[in-house]
Amino acid sequence: MSTPGASTSATIQELHSDSENEDAGSESGAVETVTTEEGGVEVKATKKKKKRSKAKKTMDKIKSALPGGDKDIPDEILDRVMQEVDKLPADQKTDQDLNQDNVRSALKAMNLMRMLESHSKNGGFVEPEAHKKDAGDHKFWKTQPVPQVLDPELEAEGPIDDAKTIADVRPTPYPLPKEFDWCTVDVDDPKQLQEVYDLLSLHYVEDKDASMRFNYTAEFLNWALKPPGWVPSWHVGIRVKTTKKLVAFISGIPVNLRVKKNLVKCSEINFLCVHKKLRSKRLAPVLIKEVTRQCNLVGIWQAIYTVGIVLPTPFATSRYYHRNLNPPKLISIGFAVLPRAQTMARCIKEYAVPTETSTPGWRNMEERDVAQVGVLLRRYLERFDVAPVYEDDEIRHWMLSGQGDASNKGQNGEGIKGNAKQVTWCYVVEDPETHRITDFVSFYSLPSTVIKSVQYPILNAAYTFYYATDRAFPASDPSQASTSASGSSSTEGGRQLTFTEERRIRDAREARLKELMADMLVVAQAAGFDVFNSLTGLDNQSFLKELKFATGDGSLHYYLYNYRVQPLSGGWPLDRSGTSGVGLVMV
């Protein structure tokens, strides 16, 4: 999930709203509680290997050598560390663990560990008022195969539960209170898709003060819920028995996720929503268990999901950033604040972007680009610890199928200029001489309802999606980069890169990303978006500051179900590496 919006002065996070203002139909107050623990999966303790991995030993040594610990990781320190690494005998230098990105990611992950440790001790992490529970207080989550606490010594990465077969799966749905029925929502049926839209548009994620709520459009949902290989039974709904009204929903879609070196077949869980009048009745746990059962029934035992709140236990945390593209509107709706010392005219000037893109070879992505974009993106995402592995048909789906109806251009939705029903905007950079695709960028459109504004009922927000540039790859000649045999960013022809070489690549990648993202802002503003939102995952840190993204207060936490992995960097706190361990974007 994403976040509906935030002023740079107000906290963005998910809200368990008490609001009474939405229509609940006849089901209001009709339920007692749902029994939640039946069929709960027992958590198996993971056996820790006694032997510590080579990487861990290296990190421990580096960490203990750092003056003042690893809280801030200045380049000078990394320089020193990497210079020492460069001096090592050749056989040790080829160790994959000893490159700058790995050293930095490990040090940053230690930061996350510290923050989460402090959360569980004093409830002080990110959203203290909403999350006072210790792991043991999570009546539902403590029964699930998720890490209950952060284990800084974790070495046995992998599935948590013992392996099961489909025969072990409960054959019948979990019981619901007698007023409700399960349903599979057929999102191919426009009427049922509209029902999901209606539920989410009134009851899905809001910001902290309930001033904004996501408004995922029907075309967005149609795109997000039906990637190649989608499983109809993973679109789980709850209806009121008498009226058939849809009052709760959860969805899964398939994704091949690479977690470090392992390929994990997962479901990506999203759009969990319970009608406001049915909150706090333990329907969420039963929805989660039912979608888990549906996944298990087709042999899927792991899942990935993102949530704005802290549950047991995130493996990474990213922060939201916001680039103002329409100061008068954002200030009017309270999303941004006009600094006391600034006039509106100056603010508009401050956030103005050029009217034309400047990258030579920049053009819309088309069907003929799918294969090249696939090669480029797959290789780019290999640089992250956790990332999807998309086949070409998935690239085609995520990048092109969301582009709407190109034969019907004009005003799309609330003033967005684009194709009718356009959800994604995707661009490639084609080398004018070789015609090779050297870069690709994309963003998606996710409006929010501005609940309290009459003048501006909709906030048009663009969100950074996937991108890739061949400047991230090691090659003496960048134009050769994407034909290089090596898939790793830290080796060239099997040779470990020196720190200087790594830094040269990092600088080239950052410079290129700034150019590309600057052009994304140009097309987003020209299309009429009010704000461009970005998380700190992927390499987004590289461009946020320079392109005038402001820090939001919302965080997004990444979770794996039935899979343990060491905590890793979600790109926050920002540092000069410009990168993170998270190569996944969940819409």
Binding site for ligand MYA (CB under 6 A): 1, 14, 16, 133, 138-141, 203-205, 267, 269-274, 279-285, 288, 291-292, 295, 300-303, 305, 307, 311, 561-562
Residue 269 or 386: the one with the smaller Cβ distance to ligand MYA is 269
Report the alpha-carbon distance of residue 316 to residue 568 in Å, rounded: 5
* Residue 340: CB minimum distance to ligand MYA, A: 34
Residue 255 or 416: the one with the smaller Cβ distance to ligand MYA is 255
* Residue 246: CB minimum distance to ligand MYA, A: 13
* Residue 136: CB minimum distance to ligand MYA, A: 10
Residue 173 or 361: the one with the smaller Cβ distance to ligand MYA is 173
* Residue 143: CB minimum distance to ligand MYA, A: 8
Long-range contacts, 392-396 (Cβ 8 Å, 24+): 393/228, 394/227, 394/228, 395/370, 396/367, 396/370
Residue 104 or 203: the one with the smaller Cβ distance to ligand MYA is 203
Tokens 């830290």 locate to 490
Q: Which of 379, 570, 568 is nearest to 474 (CA)?
A: 379
* Collapsed DSSP state (helix, strand, coil) of residue 74: coil
Q: What sign for the dihedral angle of Cα 470, 534, 587, 40? A: positive
* Residue 124: CB minimum distance to ligand MYA, A: 18
172 sits in which H/E element: none
Report the alpha-carbon distance of residue 308 to residue 226 in Å, rounded: 24
* Residue 381: CB minimum distance to ligand MYA, A: 22
* Residue 20: CB minimum distance to ligand MYA, A: 15
Q: Which two tokens stand for residue 493?
A: 């022809």
Residue 102 or 292: the one with the smaller Cβ distance to ligand MYA is 292
Q: Say if CB 564 and CB 157 are below 8 A apart.
A: yes
Residue 420 or 451: the one with the smaller Cβ distance to ligand MYA is 451
Residue 132 or 349: the one with the smaller Cβ distance to ligand MYA is 132
Report the alpha-carbon distance of residue 175 to residue 543 in Å, rounded: 49
Residue 305 or 315: the one with the smaller Cβ distance to ligand MYA is 305
Residue 284 or 531: the one with the smaller Cβ distance to ligand MYA is 284
* Residue 6: CB minimum distance to ligand MYA, A: 15
Q: Say if CB 270 and CB 559 are below 8 A apart.
A: no
* Collapsed DSSP state (helix, strand, coil) of residue 266: strand
71 sits in which H/E element: none
Beta-strand runs (E) in 384-542: 386-388, 405-412, 416-420, 424-430, 437-445, 448-450, 458-459, 461-469, 491-492, 495-496, 531-535
Residue 38 or 84: the one with the smaller Cβ distance to ligand MYA is 38
Residue 169 or 389: the one with the smaller Cβ distance to ligand MYA is 169
Report the alpha-carbon distance of residue 103 to residue 581 in Å, rounded: 12
Report the alpha-carbon distance of residue 393 to residue 380 in Å, rounded: 18
* Residue 19: CB minimum distance to ligand MYA, A: 11
Residue 273 or 377: the one with the smaller Cβ distance to ligand MYA is 273
Q: Which of 551, 561, 373 is nearest to 571 (CA)?
A: 551
Q: Which residues, 6 or more positions from 150, have their beta carbon under 8 angstroms from its beta carbon? A: 113, 116, 117, 120, 313, 567
218 sits in which H/E element: helix 218-224
Report the alpha-carbon distance of residue 285 to residue 141 in Å, rounded: 8
Q: Which of 530, 535, 539, 569 is nearest to 551 (CA)?
A: 535
Report the alpha-carbon distance of residue 157 to residue 154 in Å, rounded: 7
Residue 74 or 136: the one with the smaller Cβ distance to ligand MYA is 136
Burial class of residue 93 in the structure, from the number of CB atoms within 10 Å of its CB (0-12 exposed, 13-18 middle, 19+ buried): middle
Residue 177 or 528: the one with the smaller Cβ distance to ligand MYA is 177
Q: What percentage of the chain's residues is helix, strand, coil (to nearest 5)?
A: 35, 20, 45
* Residue 4: CB minimum distance to ligand MYA, A: 10
Long-range contacts, 521-525 (Cβ 8 Å, 24+): 521/323, 521/325, 521/353, 521/547, 522/353, 522/354, 522/355, 522/356, 522/357, 522/358, 523/357, 523/425, 523/427, 524/325, 524/425, 524/443, 524/462, 525/325, 525/326, 525/353
Q: Say if CB 327 and CB 344 are below 8 A apart.
A: yes
* Residue 108: CB minimum distance to ligand MYA, A: 24
* Residue 317: CB minimum distance to ligand MYA, A: 14
* Residue 27: CB minimum distance to ligand MYA, A: 13
Instruction: Give alpha helix (H) positions in 298-391.
Output: 327-332, 344-350, 370-381
* Residue 97: CB minimum distance to ligand MYA, A: 31
Residue 77 or 274: the one with the smaller Cβ distance to ligand MYA is 274
* Residue 227: CB minimum distance to ligand MYA, A: 16
